[in-house]
Amino acid sequence: MGRHLSNRHPGYDKSGDSVTSSAPQPITVVKKAQQQGKQQMDYDHLNWLLVKWLILASLPPSTLEEKWLANSFKFLNPSIQLWPGERYKVKIREVFRSMQEDVMATLEKVSSKVSIILDFWNSYEQIFYMSVTCQWIDENWSFQQVLLDICQIPYPCGGSEIYHSLEKVLKMYNIESRVLSCTHDNSQNAIHACHTLKEEIDGQKLGMFCYIPCAARTLNLIIEDGLRTTKPVISKVREFVLELNSSAKMSEDFIQLTAAYQEGSWKFPLETSARWSGNYQMLDIVCKVIALSSEISNILI
């Protein structure tokens, strides 16, 4: 992001003005207009840094209109000038469009077929989104990957809406005739969209196309089904591990206890996500704790 802004937006790549030097510097009388111009350049640089912050943190431009944040900047420098919220929106759109142009230029040089990966999620406002990622192997047999777009899928968010959104992205980057495969999340809507895309590609005789479910998603569904009866236990273990990760003292005591009973090394912090890997690790802890409790009981008896 920083390199992109530096190359495409001169206001961002401003370096420091002051250079430490032991040699005496001549005294120069600076006119007031020049001072104002220099200050304006400083403000532009600050605003470009804020643009980068908004993009990397996925925050809306309205964040900078919050009065306490604005007051914090004013406390540091009463004369500081932030851009209006609408200008931040314009600049973010400029960055997005120029990055799209960079991606288009990259894909124009790709001579091979490409693969597409679709990911879906709902926002806090229950808005349905789809990300489209492109992957390929270059001439040096190196794996390449680039995010093409993040689309808001219109209601009712079915297979037809997914297909039309995907079609727009493929046509925008001019790769609709070079798609070899599509990986999706196993949902019926995604399958329907990929089936429609296959019919379109087959109808135009553009070559072979296949769509396959995501292996990680499939594995996660299988493990979730297998752990259905143990979910209450795993939830309690996850709560315990979260507390353990937050306390260095508890973690140290736990490591000493496991070492005393030769339970092997424990890596902290433990992963507590609800993904299949996190569920597996929680179940593994349950097995170890049961074994440890059994050994302690035998010793006490």
Predicted local distance difference test score (pLDDT) of residue 22: 43
Collapse the DSSP code of 171 into the 3-class scheme (helix H, G, I; strand E, B; otherwise coil) and give the result: helix
Predicted local distance difference test score (pLDDT) of residue 248: 81
For 178, which DSSP code?
S
Predicted local distance difference test score (pLDDT) of residue 56: 83
Tokens representing residue 277 in the block: 């890997």
Contact call for residues 88 and 62 (beta carbons, < 8 A)? no
Predicted local distance difference test score (pLDDT) of residue 297: 64
Query: Where do the H-state alpha helices sit in the chain?
Result: 2-8, 32-56, 67-76, 85-108, 159-172, 188-203, 215-226, 231-246, 248-260, 276-300
Complete DSSP assignment for 83-97: PPHHHHHHHHHHHHH
Average pLDDT per run of 10 along the chain, which is 301 residues long? 58 45 43 46 79 84 84 83 87 88 92 91 84 92 91 89 94 92 88 91 84 78 77 80 81 78 66 70 74 66 61
Collapse the DSSP code of 76 into the 3-class scheme (helix H, G, I; strand E, B; otherwise coil) and give the result: helix
Return all residues near 60 (Cβ < 8 A) that are at least 6 apart.
54
pTM: 0.58
Complete DSSP assignment for 123-147: -TT--EEEEEEEEEE-TTS-EEEEE
